Structure 1
Amino acid sequence: MLINPNAPADKPEIQQMKVIHRVMRREFAQLPDLIAAVRVGDTARARLLGDHLSLVLDMLHEHHEAEDELLWPVLVQRVPLEKDLIAVMETQHQAIGDAVDAVAAQLPAWTDDAGAAARDLLTDALRDLGPALTEHLDLEEDEVLPLIHDHLTVPEWVAPQKHAMKHGPRTLTGKLTLAGMVLEDATPRERAWFLGEMPAPARLLWRLTGARRYDEHVRLVRAGAPSPS
């Protein structure tokens, strides 16, 4: 199903990627403040947020891996005049990957004892990651997605989505949480598209228990959010 019913069915619908980007923007914007607000020694909350952060980091990794393997090579071949732009995408992916590694390196120490020093190092690493990710997503949406729309086939566009789904969370809880992240801010047509991409058993499970479980999960994750000033 297309998000935009007026979009041509024989062209990649780039709004689909913007839905996924929205999740990343939201989660990486919220997590530094959520983690910074955790009390020293509160290991239960540190582990809750640590598991959530790990899921978001994995989502970002799989998303970029799929682009590196399945989008950029095709785009360079199809539009060689834009090879410099694609090289910038690849360079940004590497910088973001390094920032993700820095976050991941700090995470175990904090979830282990919820200490102040480990918390602050993790928060700083996340705040370093945020601007690099935002710059990349902005450039991709402004400059690269239009090229994808004009020059890639629908199967070529769908391939990275299938790759990310295949290599996504292994646990049922992780799968349902990831689905909830995508559906949280989705419009009705975006919801219909995403649910339509899910296998029928997963779609039924989401409706029976997944939505409720995600609501409880996100309530717990954001319970310690700082009050707006």
Structure 2
Amino acid sequence: MTAAVDRPNLVAFRIVHRAMRGDARRLADTVERIARGTSPCGAARARAVAGYVDTLCDGIHHHHANEDRLLWPVLERSAGAEVDLSALSDDHSHLDPLLDQVRAGARALAAAPADRAVAGRLATLLGTLRDLLDEHIEDEERTIFPIIDRYVSGADWRQVEDQIRKGSQIRFDLPRMERFAAPDELAELYRMAGPGLRIMVALVRPGYRRRERLIFG
């Protein structure tokens, strides 16, 4: 078992998972209201929805592709027979075609913001994405997180996180982490990252919140 002082800190991964699930849920709910005609959608809002969807889908792809490329080999090397990643890898293979469909649906809404049928198709796709993410992430955290905690060294975990972070979208990811983190989790992130993180979040927060208000009200 890994020494307690060198155990992986999973707080950032948990927040990233929660942000993906939360965004899929609130986008599905928002576009469903647009499709029902209970929430107006002009051209600016439709473009903002499409842009947010595209960025979210890029982030989801980046996360699961790097789990396949970086995290899975570490788990197989560290835990050996204790880990079976086949079901989670299958989920990842199903995600990319769905993400492409969601992106296309969002572009269609941007091109026809007044068409409630177009919004309805996007809402259905987002609902499918929401449900798949919920099931997949719950499975992953239940089965893989205990194995990470038991077998993976803190050094190996930090290397995985550092590599994944290199492809992140700071202006999008940082304020989302603030949005979806519990207060104690956010305090832990600031403690680990130092004062520079708090400054960066403060710089990108206003633009992100303007975008949120346009999309989600």
User: Deviation at 1:91?
Assistant: 0.7
Contact 2:49/2:106 (8 A) holds in 1: no
Q: Deviations over 1:139-171 (max 9, x none)?
A: 1111110001111112321233223321122xx
CA distance in 1, matches of 2:99, 2:26: 16
TM-score, length-scaled by structure 1: 0.81
For the 8 Å contact 2:6–2:155, the answer to whether it is kept is no
Q: CA deviation at 1:200?
A: 6.0
8 Å CA contact 1:70–1:159 kept in 2: the answer is: no
Alignment counterpart, residue 187 of structure 1, candidates 182, 187, 195? 182
Any gaps of 5 or more consecutive residues in structure 1?
1-6, 170-174, 224-229
Amino acid at match of 1:183: E
1:118 maps to what in 2? Answer: 118
Q: Any conservation in 1 of the 2:108–2:118 contact (CA below 8 Å)? A: yes
Give distance in 2, aligned partners of 1:222 and 1:197.
31
Partner of 2:62: 62
> Following the alignment from structure 1 to structure 2, what is the Cα–Cα distance between the partners of residues 82 and 164?
24
Q: For residues 195 and 218 of structure 1, what CA distance do their matches in structure 2 show?
A: 23
Give the aligned partner of residue 19 of structure 2.
Answer: 23
Scaled by the length of structure 2, the TM-score of the pair is 0.85
Q: Is the contact between residue 103 and residue 122 of structure 1 (CA under 8 Å) also seen in structure 2?
A: yes
| SS of residue matched to 2:149 | helix
Q: Distance in 2 between matches of 1:161 and 1:26?
A: 21
State the percentage of identical aligned residues: 25
Q: Secondary structure at the match of 1:37?
A: helix
> Which SS does the other structure have where 2:9 is aligned?
coil
Q: Judging changes above 3 Å, is the alpha-carbon distance between structure 1 residues 41 and 187 closer, same or farther for their aligned structure 2 residues?
A: closer
Equivalent position SS for 2:4: coil
The 1:57/1:9 distance shift into structure 2, 3 A limit, reads farther
Note the alpha carbon deviations across 1:91-110, whole angstroms, 9 max, x for none. 11111222212212322222
1:219 match: 213
**Residues 82 and 92 of structure 1: is their aligned pair in 2 closer, same or farther, counting only changes over 3 Å?**
farther
Q: Are 1:141 and 2:141 counterparts?
A: yes
- Kept in 2, the 8 Å contact 1:58–1:168? The answer is no
* More displaced 10-residue stretch of structure 1: 210-219 or 122-131: 210-219
Separation (CA, whole Å) in 2 of partners of 1:162 and 1:184: 22
CA distance in structure 2 between the partners assigned to 1:92 and 1:213 by the alignment: 33
Give the alignment of 1:77-226 within 5 angstroms: 77-83=77-83, 85-114=84-113, 115-169=115-169, 175-195=170-190, 203-207=198-202, 209-223=203-217
1:41–1:113 Cα contact (<8 Å) kept = no
Compare 110-119 and 143-152 and name the one that shifted more. 110-119
* CA distance in 1: counterparts of 2:134 and 2:200, whole angstroms: 33
Moved over 6 A (4+): none
Structure with a larger share of its residues in helix: 2
Report the more deviating stretch, 22-31 or 93-102. 93-102
Counterparts in 2 of 1:150 and 1:76: CA distance versus 1, 3 Å: same
In 2: Cα distance, 1:130 partner to 1:75 partner? 26
Decide whether aligned partners of structure 1 residues 70 and 30 sit closer, same or farther in structure 2, where only a CA change above 3 A counts. same
Mapped contact 1:66–1:161 kept (Cα < 8 A): no
TM-aligned CA distance change 1:46 to 1:160, over 3 Å:
farther
Letter of the structure 1 residue corresponding to residue 164 of structure 2: A
Is the 1:59–1:168 contact (alpha carbons within 8 Å) kept by the matching residues of 2? Answer: yes
Secondary structure of the structure 2 residue equivalent to 1:90: helix
Give the AA of the match of 2:58: D
